[in-house]
Amino acid sequence: MWHVILSIFFLGATATLNAFGLYETAAILASGTIAILSCGVVKIERPPGYLQSNEMEKQSFMVMGLHQMTCTWYLFTGDRAIVDSLLNKAWWQSSGPP
């Protein structure tokens, strides 16, 4: 519903911009309106079990490098929850405002 209201607003803004001769900006808003309406119409269905772990083993092995072109790689092994929490969190935390 919100995409219809937003599209009506954008179409009104497009008509106003055309009246003032700002054709390029009006064309950008018109294409944005088409994109908003098409995103509201398209439905994406995901299969059952999407984003659920299907691995039976609790043991985990992950290889990590500092960047894509690195020559040094690190192998992390152990319990899956521990390895995931080590590699998927920030290495530093802010204790408050600077």
DSSP string, 20-88: TT-HHHHHHHHHHHHHHHHHHH----PPTTTT-------EEEEEEESSTT-S-EEEEEEEHHHHHHHHS
**What's the confidence (pLDDT) of residue 94?**
57
Residue 97 has pLDDT above 70, yes or no: no
Looking at every residue in the chain, the average pLDDT score rounds to 82
pTM higher than 0.85: no
Residues 6+ apart with CB under 8 A from 62: 75, 76, 77, 83, 87
Over range 44-49, report the average pLDDT.
81
The predicted-structure confidence for 56-80, as pLDDT tens digits, reads as follows: 777 888 888 888 888 999 998 888 7
- At residue 8's C-alpha, the angle toward residues 2 and 12, to 5°, is 145
